[in-house]
Structure 1
Amino acid sequence: MFTFLGGIVLLIVGYFTYGKVVERIFVPNAERTTPAYTKGDGVDYLPMSTKKNSLIQLISIAGIGPIFGPIMGALYGPVAFLWIVFGCIFAGAVHDYLTGMISIRHGGAHLPALAGKFLGKVMKHVVNAFSILLLLLVGTVFVTSPADLLVDLVNGTVPAIVFIVIIFIYFILATILPIDKIIGNIYPYFGALLLISALGIGIGLIANQAAIPELSLTNFHPDNIPIFPLLFLTISCGALSGFHATQSPIISRTTQNENQGRKIFYGMMIAEGIIAMIWAAAAMSLFDGPVSLNELINTIGTAGIVAEASTLMLGSVFGTLAILGVIILPITSGDTAFRSARMIIADYFNISQKKISSRLWIALPLFVVSVFLTTVDFTLLWRYFSWANQSTAVIALWVGSMYLFIAKRNYWIAVIPGIFMTMACATYILNAPIGLGLSMSTSYLIGAIITILITALFFKAANKARGQNIPLEEDVSDWKNPA
C-alpha cells in the first residue's frame, strides 16, 4: 500500500514541481494569439474553456491504455509502479506538453508537419504514414474492446457486431461534425465519469486495505520476466504514449491562451498516470499476484478483469457504473483517433475542412479500412499498436528536443527520455516475433548501436539547424486576441 500511495503523491508533487520547470523552460506567452482565434473555422479551430479542454484532453488520451496496459503491466510486479510514476512525470507529461505547445506555436500543426520542419522533409512523409497507421490501429482496437465489455455487461444477450455497428456510427459523426457539437458537449461529462470511476476503485482499495504488494528486492522482478524493453511498451498510455502526440494538436486548436498549457497537457497526463496506478494496484491486489493474474488474462481477458475488479470493489450497481466509465474510455479515444487522422490527411494535402463533404471523403475510406481490421486478432493488433505507439512517442520527443535545442533552452528534458525510448523501441522490434526475432542479447547490442547513431545524427542536425535561424513559431503579429 505504501508504494501505491507514495506513487500517487509523487505524481501530484511532480505536477506542481517538475511541471513548472518544464513550463519555465518552454516559456509560454500569454500575449501570443492562439490558433483557436487566428485560424477559427467553426469546425476544428474554435476557442473553448480551460476546464472543457482539460477534460476533453484527458478523455481523448486515456483510451484503454491506462487500464488494460497497467493490468498487463502488473504481471511485472510493483516495478510497474516505478515506470508509471517516473515515466509519467519525466517522459509522458513532458512529451504531451511539448507536442501540445509546439503545435500551438505552429498554428495547430500535427506531428507529421512538425517532424517535417524540425527533423527534415523526408520525416514529414514517414511520420504522416506512420501516424495514420497508428491512428487506424487505435481506432480499430477501440471499437472491439468496448464492444467486448458491452457484451459482458449484458451477459451476451446482444452480439458484439451490434455494438460494433453502433460504435462505428458514433465514430463517423464525432469525426466529421464540428468539435463543439458532440465532443465539446459530452466529453466533459465523460471525463468526470472516468475520474469518479477510477476514484471509486482507488478508495475501495484503501478502504478494504487491499494487499497491494510493496516494491522490494525480493519482488522487484517476479519470475525473471524481462523488464526491458517489454514493460515500457506494455504500459504506454499510463506513462508515455505516442498516441497523445496525435491528440494534443486537436486541443491546441481550441486552447485560448498558452498559459493554460500546463494544466491541459502536462496536468492531464498526470491524471492519467494516477488512473494507471489505481488499475495496476487493483490487478496486483485482487488477483493474488502475477501467477493468478496471468491465468485470468489468458482466460477472461483484460476486459473480464476490469468487470471483476469493478464489481468486487464497488458492488453490482456502482461497479456497473465504473465499467461504463471504462467502456467510455476507448470509445472517446477511438473517435478522436479518426478525427485526428482526418485532420492529418487534410493538412497533408492542404484540404479545407469547412465543408462537410470535404470531411466525409477523407473520413469514410478510413472507416472502411478499420472495418476490415476488426476481423484481425486483437492481440496481434495490440502488439503492433504498442510498438507503433511508442515509436511515435520517440519521434515526438526528438521533435521537442530539436525545438528546445534551436531555442537554446534545456533540451535534455526531452533528449534523455528520447534516448531511453529509442533504445526500448529498437530493442523490442529487433527481438519480438513481430519484428526480426533476434536473441535478446543481440537485440540489446544492435539496439544500443542504433540509439547511439540516432543520437549522434540528432546533435549533428540540431547544431546545423541552430545556425539556420529556423523560426520557432508562426507569425501572428497581425492578429489580436479577443480573449
Structure 2
Amino acid sequence: MNSAVVLVFSMLWFWVAYRWYGNKLESKLIQPDDSRPTPAVEFNDGIDYYPSKPSMLFGHHFSSVAGAGPILGPIAAFAAFGWGGTLLWILVGTVFIGAVHDYLSLMLSVRFKGNSLPEIAQETIGKRARNLFSIFVLLTLVLVVAVFGFVAAKTLSTTPNVVIPTFGIIPLAMFFGFLVYKRNFSTVIGTIIALGGLFLLIWLGYKYPLSLPFTAKVNFSIWFVLLMGYGLIASVLPVWVLLQPRDYISNWVLIIGMGVGLIGTIITHPTINAPVFTSFNSKQGPMWPILFIVVACGAISGFHSLIASGTTSKQLAKESDGRFIGFGAMLVEGVLAVVALLAVSAGLFWQAPAGMEQFAFLNILSTSGPIKAFGLGYSRLVEPLLGTFGMIFGITMLKTFVMTTLDTCIRLGRLLTAELIAPKIPALNNKFLASLFIAIPAFFFGYTGTYNIIWPVFGAANQLIAALSLLVITAYLVGVKKPTKYTLYPAIFMILTTIGALVYQGYQFLFKDNPDYILGFTAIGLIILALVVADEAKKIFMRNKSNKKNLSSTLES
C-alpha cells in the first residue's frame, strides 16, 4: 500500500467528517448561541477564566490533549496487531467517538458555568457518579504528571539537544503573550516572530547540546526537580501569561511537523512494508479489547474531557467557536496518529533488507523505544526536506508538549481540588496549596518510579473516564430532550471494551507464574467500578426509552 495514498485519504476523511458529522452534532445537539455569555466572559478573573482568540485557544487545547499519546499509542498497536486494524480504528474511532466526546465535553462544561465533568455528573446523574468520576480524575492527573515528569527528565538527561528548545520556549512564549494580549500586537506577525525564535532555539539545541556534568542519577534528579517546579509555578500563573501563548506556539510546531510529514510522504511515497494484520492475539493480549485501549489518544481518551471541561471551557469566548476547537482538534490529532503510524510502517522496515538493519522497526522498538522509532521513521519520510535534521525535529515535536502536559495537569488538579475538596477543606481554596495537592504525590510517584506499580492498568482506567464522560453527556441530552444515540452507543461500547480489557489484565496479573496482586486487585476494583458505570448506563438507557415512549403517547393523543 502506498503511504501517500493512505495519508491523503485520511486527511480527506477527517475534512469531510468535520463538515458533515461536526455540523450535525452542532445543529442537532448544541445549537450554539453567541448572545449567551460564556463562562470566560461571565466570570473573567484574568487568571483561569479568560476569553481567548479562537486560534490561541485551539493551540492550547490541541497541545494539551495531544502530547505524545497519539504517536506512542498507534506505534504500540501497530507493533502488536499490524497497521490495518490500527488505521481503521483511528479513522472510525476519532470521528464517531473521540471527536464527539471532546466537543460535547467542552460544550457541556460551557453550559454549566465552566464546571468540570465530575461536578456536572452530580447534577445530571447523581452523587455516586460524581464520587466515582472524582476518584478516576484525581488518580489520572497524578499519574500523568508523574509519568510525563519522569519521561521528560529522562529525555533531557539522554538527549541534550532538546534542552535549549524545551526551556527556551518559556520566556519566548511569555514575551509573545505580553505583545498579543497587553500591547494588541498583530497575532500573525507575532506568530511569525515567535516561530522564528522557536526554530532558532531548536537549531541552537541541535548545534549546542547541553548536558549536566554529573552521574545519570543526579542529572535525572536535577531535571525532574526543575520540571516539577516549573509545572507548579506555571499552574498558578494567569493563562494569558504562559499557558495560552506557549501552547499556541507548541501547536504550530506540531502543525508544521505534520505539514512537513505530509509533503515528505507525498514526495518519498514509500510503500507500507509491514503486514496489514499480524495476529488476533499478541503479546499484549487479544485484538479486542486491547487494540482499543492501546491506541488511546489516537482515537479517544478520557483525559481529553478533563482538558475540555477543566481549562478550555473557561477560555471559550463564544459558543460558535466550540466545534472548531473541540471537534476540530481531535480530528487533527487523528491526522497526527496516521502520520505516526506511517512513520513506522513505511518509514521503517518490518523486515529490513541487507545494509538497512539500522532501520528495522522491531529492533529499534525493543532497544531504543517508540520515541526513537518515530524519530527515525519520520526522518526518512522527510529526508528530502530536512535531511539528517529530521530525527531531532521529530523528537522535539514530542518534547515540546511534555511541558504543556505538566503544568496543564497540575492546573487541572488545582481547579478540581477547589471544586471537589475545598468545600470541606477551605485551605485548599489557596491556589498554591491546591496545586501542591496534586504535585506532591505526583513528585513522589515520578521521582521514585513507583508509578509503574499501577501504570499497566492506566490505559483501561483512562478509557473508563471516557465512558463516564459520555454517560454524563448522555444524561444531559436526556434531560434537555435531545437525541442520545450519538453518545449513548459509544459509551456502551467503551464500557464493554474497558471491562473486557480489565478482565483480561486481571486474569493475567493474578494467574501468571509470579502473580502481581497489587495490579490484579486494582484491576478487580476497576471492574467493579466499571460495572457501576454500566448500571448508570442502563438507567440512562431506560430513562431515554421512557422519554421516547411518553413523547410518542403525547403525539398520538
State the secondary structure of the residue aligned to 2:95. Answer: helix
Q: Choose between structure 1 and 2 for higher RCO, CA contacts under 8 A separated by at least 6 residues.
A: 1
CA distance in 2, matches of 1:377, 1:308: 30
CA distance in 1, matches of 2:531, 2:106: 31
| Normalised TM-score (structure 1) | 0.87
User: Is 2:91 the counterpart of 1:96?
Assistant: no
User: In the TM superposition, what is the alpha-carbon distance from 1:7 to its structure 2 partner?
Assistant: 2.0
Moved over 4 A (4+): 377-382, 433-439, 446-454, 461-467
CA distance in 2, matches of 1:404, 1:229: 28
In structure 2, the partner of 1:210 is 270
- Whichever residue aligns with residue 459 of structure 2, its letter is S
In structure 2, relative to structure 1, the CA distance for the partners of 1:147 and 1:212 (3 Å cut) is farther
Q: What whole-Å deviation, never above 9, does each CA across 1:224-281 have from its counterpart, x for those lacking one?
A: 4321111111111111010001001211111111011000100001111101110011
CA distance in 2, matches of 1:108, 1:308: 42
- Whichever residue aligns with residue 279 of structure 1, its letter is A
1:331-370 superposed matches below 5 A? 331-349=403-421, 358-370=430-442
In structure 1, the partner of 2:483 is 410
In structure 1, the partner of 2:41 is 37
Tell me if the contact between 1:426 and 1:450 (Cα under 8 Å) persists in the aligned partners: no
In structure 2, the partner of 1:57 is 61
1:67-86 superposed matches below 5 A? 67-75=71-79, 76-77=81-82, 78-86=84-92
CA distance in 1, matches of 2:418, 2:478: 30
Tell me if the contact between 2:288 and 2:497 (Cα under 8 Å) persists in the aligned partners: yes
In structure 1, the partner of 2:142 is 136
State the secondary structure of the residue aligned to 1:40. Answer: coil
1:107-186 superposed matches below 5 A? 107-154=113-160, 157-158=211-212, 159-186=219-246
Which of these residues, 354, 365, 371, is aligned with residue 303 of structure 1? 371
Which of these residues, 15, 19, 24, is aligned with residue 22 of structure 2? 19
- Whichever residue aligns with residue 15 of structure 1, its letter is Y
- Whichever residue aligns with residue 398 of structure 2, its letter is V
Tell me if the contact between 1:194 and 1:325 (Cα under 8 Å) persists in the aligned partners: yes
In structure 2, the partner of 1:385 is 458
User: In the TM superposition, what is the alpha-carbon distance from 1:221 to its structure 2 partner?
Assistant: 4.4
In structure 2, the partner of 1:477 is none
In structure 2, the partner of 1:66 is 70
| Normalised TM-score (structure 2) | 0.76
* Structure 1, unpaired ranges of 5+: 468-483
CA distance in 1, matches of 2:508, 2:97: 25
User: In the TM superposition, what is the alpha-carbon distance from 1:118 to its structure 2 partner?
Assistant: 1.4
CA distance in 1, matches of 2:40, 2:313: 8
In structure 2, relative to structure 1, the CA distance for the partners of 1:304 and 1:347 (3 Å cut) is same
1:248-287 superposed matches below 5 A? 248-249=308-309, 250-287=311-348
CA distance in 2, matches of 1:438, 1:400: 38
Which of these residues, 317, 320, 323, is aligned with residue 389 of structure 2? 317
CA distance in 1, matches of 2:320, 2:508: 42
Identity of aligned residues (%): 27
In structure 1, the partner of 2:504 is 431
Q: Larger Cα Rg: Structure 1 or Structure 2? A: 2
In structure 2, relative to structure 1, the CA distance for the partners of 1:82 and 1:437 (3 Å cut) is farther
User: In the TM superposition, what is the alpha-carbon distance from 1:202 to its structure 2 partner?
Assistant: 3.2
User: Is 2:248 the counterpart of 1:195?
Assistant: no
* Structure 2, unpaired ranges of 5+: 162-209, 213-218, 353-359, 513-523, 550-557
In structure 2, the partner of 1:396 is 469
Q: Structure 1 residues 285-294 or 173-182, which shifts more?
A: 285-294
In structure 2, relative to structure 1, the CA distance for the partners of 1:447 and 1:118 (3 Å cut) is closer
State the secondary structure of the residue aligned to 1:289. Answer: coil
State the secondary structure of the residue aligned to 1:17. Answer: helix
Q: Which of the pair is proportionally richer in helix?
A: 2
State the secondary structure of the residue aligned to 1:286. Answer: coil
Q: How many correspondences in the alignment?
A: 458
- Whichever residue aligns with residue 39 of structure 2, its letter is P
Indicate the RMSD between aligned Cα atoms, in angstroms: 3.1
CA distance in 1, matches of 2:363, 2:392: 24
Which of these residues, 218, 224, 228, is aligned with residue 288 of structure 2? 228
Q: What whole-Å deviation, never above 9, does each CA across 1:158-199 have from its counterpart, x for those lacking one?
A: 433332222112211221111111112222111101111232
State the secondary structure of the residue aligned to 2:297. Answer: coil
In structure 2, relative to structure 1, the CA distance for the partners of 1:356 and 1:452 (3 Å cut) is closer
User: Is 2:242 the counterpart of 1:242?
Assistant: no
Q: What whole-Å deviation, never above 9, does each CA across 1:404-449 have from its counterpart, x for those lacking one?
A: 122222210101111111111001111104887589xxx9xx9999
CA distance in 2, matches of 1:252, 1:449: 30
Q: What whole-Å deviation, never above 9, does each CA across 1:331-361 have from its counterpart, x for those lacking one?
A: 2122211111110110124569xx9981111
Tell me if the contact between 2:143 and 2:451 (Cα under 8 Å) persists in the aligned partners: no
In structure 2, relative to structure 1, the CA distance for the partners of 1:92 and 1:19 (3 Å cut) is same
In structure 2, relative to structure 1, the CA distance for the partners of 1:383 and 1:436 (3 Å cut) is closer
In structure 2, the partner of 1:219 is 276
Tell me if the contact between 1:427 and 1:447 (Cα under 8 Å) persists in the aligned partners: no
In structure 2, relative to structure 1, the CA distance for the partners of 1:434 and 1:205 (3 Å cut) is farther
Tell me if the contact between 1:70 and 1:80 (Cα under 8 Å) persists in the aligned partners: yes
Q: What whole-Å deviation, never above 9, does each CA across 1:96-117 have from its counterpart, x for those lacking one?
A: 0110000000000101111111
In structure 1, the partner of 2:183 is none
Q: Structure 1 residues 219-228 or 425-434, which shifts more?
A: 219-228
